[in-house]
Structure 1
């Protein structure tokens, strides 16, 4: 297991060439991104809202129950992903999920009415409204799907698409998209540095260039990852590049002939495609995370200001000025920023903080510095970085530029940690990966965190961080 302290020596022994990547994220303009939002999803929401309104008007339940009816029906159906973006516009394929959602809402509304002691007439009116919603809504949904297919075929309302992999599967996918535009994908290029197919046999352009550059140049909205035989083009790298540029990303699974349909499976004729979740920073819940970051950081700075002042005074008395340590770190999309800490290391004649790794037993760390590090009080000024937007409360820990370059050359996907803002604490840290520990393990934990991000995961990491600090203080 390679630790941070041994990385420099290992770099000379293990360094392998890294594929050039355009780390500067040039996202598609907002107007164009909005134009790619599927009208079918918007229309499905609209027809359900109209069906709820028509059903409530016809049955005339009380106004308060009309609100409960709308919230329950639309909420359950949204939770069952009936308003998702989709390739296959099939009403029959979607019908079981739609009926199950309506039945669930029917049961919930009936239970609410019984538990709140509503009159039998009110309960019956609400149940009748749900049934009326189904009778009115399903034919409208059928019309929306038919309209969507027609627009894709006749008006070309399709996403510009790149297929990664020019083998048999990739070639078949391109031809299928061209022959069946009703699936909403228009192939504009295939990317593969070692194609198995004859380039002349491909109906679109074959590219041997960086995927990020191709996405930006061709203004692509969707990337489909098929099988590539190139030795230096991992599928994971391509998926991350597509995510960072805001593309919808699909993967052809291995053994696709035996792959069953599921919640995240799309169908392009006979090919199953696994739809990868969108990048965390593009979800509405990410704005909630940012809002919580600002509020919690502001409150924490206010409450802990006396503690920060006492720590600064202790450092001043032990080793003089400065008490605040500034250091360049790498944040989201490889942008650098000034990170703030309470200084825990005595100042030497030469400032080697950007290139020297601090390990346990460092002679430059005095009693006050050891206490600050052991309790993590030296990290408190980073609350200001959070307020500024440089960092988040939870995320991969930021590293110095020299070490980022070194670790990216040694460890797979270390560079991919910078898809989200760095954090005051992270999943790797609550699993004991602090200080002189494995960089490879840290990268795996950080990429797992990004792939599985949710607000609840952030809450769990914060709680685990508090528990670790309390337990460490008691040791």
Structure 2
């Protein structure tokens, strides 16, 4: 018997199940104002680069085309190198290798552009001179920007309000370090225990014993720092997802942090390395690109596939009568529900048990037409309308019925976390063969991996794999 079926027949829900962020209504999730998320040092660094480019243009006098090409190369290289990123440690010497590398890449780009475009040698030389002049001017001013940033944090307390989630000595030391060194830009306002060991007493911050989301909103915290007591600390995962959903910056103190080297995504709070966790996918600008593209594709697919849907609907009507469309309540983003549309593949019974009964292979209620629709996934085509309406996305975790979401969340760790993003018509779990009567735990792991690693390219890969699944009629 599969793990799925074992979980479905489970009748007893653990009485002490933790309150999940996904269990709360949407109204409880309040994000920070946009202005509060703007980092002054990052803005100043970008302004310095802009001024340095303009001064270099006036100094070297290239033509308009050369100036534009150089601006694009510099902007692209420095954005890709995250030179203007938000940071805790304001150190020019620490940041110098990254900045020089980005400028060197821009130098290579303008040189390559000049060769590919067949520019005159003088024009290429002017672009190269412009980049070198920019580097000198920019690096001459950047130390002052970092100094002003440290001064503002120390004297003006221009710090981000932070909550520490951790137990015992480490949590207390992080709070004390932030209080003693405000130049790192963090002002601790609360500490919450994440394990059996209570939060340390005697600290000038609020001890959080209840709902973390409520405390973060009440304390107006913009950063959550996670200091797990051990690798199996489930409360830390809950806290990380809560912080993401509230739009907070999330930093993690890794295990064996004394041996953790500096690298991409690692910042420093004095001697403590803190790893920046990626923000919630739905808060990135690229997510709106995903939404716009998927809506357009779904609308176009509905128009093109309308004759196919009509033929399938006629076949359903001939086999088992009306209605030909099947409506079912499913759970979507943040635990909200919506009505999902499908072509009916199961013969109607006297009692409708579709909300609580799991469909498995060999179900006697499924006729030849229904089996064909399921095998070919043609019964899913009406869900394109759900995508157009905004209930679903083309790519995302597959939606499930409320009763099974409740049962699976009680049995399978982090199943509830799948609902951080909109559900989808296809997903990473489905293109890896996890459809129908398969492991729910594996599905949850694939879905959470998808959310943690989401990108537009990952969506494209999943769509390509889905097409391959449908055309080759095979499972991975």
Report TM bin, short chain.
over 0.9
| Equivalent in the alignment of 1:182 | 183
* C-alpha distance in 2 between matches for 1:447 and 1:17: 23
**Residues 165, 194 of structure 2: 8 Å contact kept:** no
| Equivalent in the alignment of 1:17 | 16
Q: Deviations over 1:196-228 (max 9, x none)?
A: 467433231222112222212222110000134
**Residues 316, 369 of structure 2: 8 Å contact kept:** yes
Matches within 5 A, 1:245-260: 245-260=246-261
**Residues 347, 367 of structure 2: 8 Å contact kept:** yes
| Equivalent in the alignment of 1:408 | 409
| Equivalent in the alignment of 1:6 | 6
* C-alpha distance in 2 between matches for 1:76 and 1:340: 46
Q: Deviations over 1:443-470 (max 9, x none)?
A: 0000000000011100010010010111
Number of aligned residue pairs: 472
* C-alpha distance in 2 between matches for 1:94 and 1:108: 22
Paired residue secondary structure (1:397): coil
| Equivalent in the alignment of 2:71 | 70
User: Relative to structure 1, is the Cα distance of residues 327 and 65 closer, same or farther in structure 2, using a 3 angstrom cutoff?
Assistant: same
**Residues 17, 409 of structure 1: 8 Å contact kept:** no
| Equivalent in the alignment of 1:319 | 320
Paired residue secondary structure (2:340): strand
| Equivalent in the alignment of 2:130 | 129
| Equivalent in the alignment of 1:89 | 90
The alpha carbon displacement at 1:229 in A equals: 6.9
Q: What residue ranges of structure 1 are gaps of 5+ in the alignment?
A: none
Confirm or deny that 1:454 pairs with 2:455.
yes
* C-alpha distance in 1 between matches for 2:212 and 2:472: 46
Q: Deviations over 1:240-299 (max 9, x none)?
A: 111111111011001100110001001000000011011111111101100111110011
* C-alpha distance in 2 between matches for 1:199 and 1:120: 67
**Residues 163, 190 of structure 1: 8 Å contact kept:** yes
Confirm or deny that 1:59 pairs with 2:68.
no
Greater Cα shift, 267-276 or 152-161: 152-161
* C-alpha distance in 2 between matches for 1:238 and 1:52: 42
Greater Cα shift, 46-55 or 292-301: 46-55
**Residues 172, 199 of structure 2: 8 Å contact kept:** no
Q: Deviations over 1:136-194 (max 9, x none)?
A: 11122222211211211122211111100131111111011111111111111100165
* C-alpha distance in 1 between matches for 2:7 and 2:230: 31
**Residues 165, 192 of structure 1: 8 Å contact kept:** yes
Confirm or deny that 1:146 pairs with 2:147.
yes
Matches within 5 A, 1:8-407: 8-12=8-12, 15=14, 17-22=16-21, 23-25=24-26, 26-29=28-31, 32-192=33-193, 196=197, 199-228=200-229, 233-407=234-408
Paired residue secondary structure (2:221): coil
* C-alpha distance in 1 between matches for 2:460 and 2:113: 30
* C-alpha distance in 2 between matches for 1:195 and 1:54: 58
Greater Cα shift, 111-120 or 397-406: 111-120
User: Relative to structure 1, is the Cα distance of residues 76 and 194 closer, same or farther in structure 2, using a 3 angstrom cutoff?
Assistant: closer
* C-alpha distance in 2 between matches for 1:44 and 1:28: 30
The alpha carbon displacement at 1:11 in A equals: 4.8
The alpha carbon displacement at 1:131 in A equals: 1.0
**Residues 193, 230 of structure 1: 8 Å contact kept:** no
Q: What RMSD in Å do the two structures reach over aligned CA positions? A: 1.9
**Residues 193, 199 of structure 2: 8 Å contact kept:** no
User: Relative to structure 1, is the Cα distance of residues 132 and 473 closer, same or farther in structure 2, using a 3 angstrom cutoff?
Assistant: closer
Paired residue secondary structure (2:379): helix
TM-score normalised to the size of structure 2? 0.95
User: Relative to structure 1, is the Cα distance of residues 195 and 409 closer, same or farther in structure 2, using a 3 angstrom cutoff?
Assistant: closer
User: Relative to structure 1, is the Cα distance of residues 462 and 127 closer, same or farther in structure 2, using a 3 angstrom cutoff?
Assistant: same
| Equivalent in the alignment of 2:424 | 423
* C-alpha distance in 1 between matches for 2:412 and 2:19: 15
* C-alpha distance in 2 between matches for 1:118 and 1:369: 64
Paired residue secondary structure (1:348): coil
Paired residue secondary structure (1:17): coil
**Residues 397, 425 of structure 1: 8 Å contact kept:** yes
**Residues 196, 229 of structure 1: 8 Å contact kept:** no
* C-alpha distance in 2 between matches for 1:406 and 1:53: 61
